Amino acid sequence: MAAHRIDVGLYVVAKPSLGIIEQLVGAAQDIGLDGVFMWDHLQDFFPSVIWDEEFSWLATQSASPHEWFEYQTLLGYLAAKYPNMRLGIGVTESVRRHPIVIAQALMTLAHLSPRRPILGIGSGERLGTEPYGLDLSHAVDRLEEALQIIRKAFTSEGPFDFSGRHFQLQGAVIDLKAPEGKTPEIWISAHGPRMLKLTGQFGDGWYPVLVASPDDYAARLDVIRQTAREAGRDPDAITPALHPPIIVAPTEEEASAMLDTKVVRFLGLILPDAIWQLFGLEHPLGKGFRGYIDIVPETYDRQTVDAAIAKVPRAMVESIFWGTPDQLVSKFRAFAEAGLRYLVPFDLSPAISPEAANYSMGALAQIAHALQNGA
CB neighbour burial string for 330-355, b if at least 16 within 10 angstroms, e if fewer: eebbebbebbbbbbbbbbbbbbbeee
For the sheet containing 245-248, what is the strand order? 321-323, 245-248, 346-347
Per-residue pLDDT, averaged over 24-35, amounts to 96
Tell me: the pLDDT tens digits for 9-18?
999 999 999 9
pLDDT higher than threshold 70 for residue 2: no
Which has the closest alpha carbon to 122: 358, 234, 290? 290
Q: How far apart are CA 269 and CA 316, in angstroms?
A: 10
- pLDDT for the residue 1: 53
Mean pLDDT for all residues in the chain: 97
Preceding peptide of 17 cis, ω within 30°: yes
The average pLDDT across 262-269 equals 97
Q: Are 114 and 83 in contact (CB under 8 A)?
A: yes
Give mean pLDDT, residues 24-38: 97
Residue 80 pLDDT > 80? yes
First to last CA, the chain: 12
User: Would you say 348 and 260 are in contact if contact means Cβ atoms under 8 Å apart?
Assistant: no
Q: Cα–Cα distance between 60 and 46 in angstroms, integer?
A: 15
CA distance 229 to 198: 13
- pLDDT for the residue 3: 80
Distance CA(298)–CA(119), nearest Å, equals: 28
Does the pLDDT value for residue 374 go beyond 90?
Answer: no
- Give the domains, in start order, of the chain with CATH numbers: 7-250+322-372 (3.20.20.30)
For residue 231, what are the β-bridge partners?
none
Judge whether 366 and 246 are in contact, CB under 8 Å: no
Is it the case that residue 88 has pLDDT exceeding 70? Answer: yes
Peptide bond into 317 cis (omega under 30): no
Q: What is the pLDDT of residues 225-243, one digit of tens each?
A: 999 999 999 999 999 999 9
Q: What is the pLDDT of residue 314?
A: 96
What confidence category does residue 375 fall into, taking pLDDT thresholds of 50, 70 and 90?
low
Model confidence pLDDT, tens digit, residues 292-335: 999 999 999 999 999 999 999 999 999 999 999 999 999 999 99
Q: How far from chain centre, in Å, is Cα 20?
A: 20
The mean pLDDT value for 154-181 works out to 97
CB 149 within 8 A of CB 162: yes
Number of Cβ within 10 Å of residue 293's Cβ equals 17
pLDDT of residue 171: 97
Q: What SS3 string covers the chain?
A: CCCCCCEEEEECCCCCCHHHHHHHHHHHHHCCCCEEEECCCCCCCCCHHHCCCCCCHHHHCCCCCCCCCCHHHHHHHHHHHCCCCEEEEEEECCCCCCHHHHHHHHHHHHHHCCCCCEEEECCCCHHHCHHHCCCCCCHHHHHHHHHHHHHHHHHCCCCEEEECCCCEEEEECCCCCCCCCCCCEEEECCCCHHHHHHHHHHCCEECCCCCCCHHHHHHHHHHHHHHHHHCCCCHHHCEEEECCEEEECCCHHHHHHHCCCHHHHHHHHHCCHHHHHHCCCCCCCCCCCCHHHCCCHHHCCHHHHHHHHHCCCHHHHCCCEEECHHHHHHHHHHHHHCCCCEECCEECHHHCCHHHHHHHHHHHHHHHHHHHCCC
User: What percent of the chain clears pLDDT 70, i.e. is strictly above it?
Assistant: 99
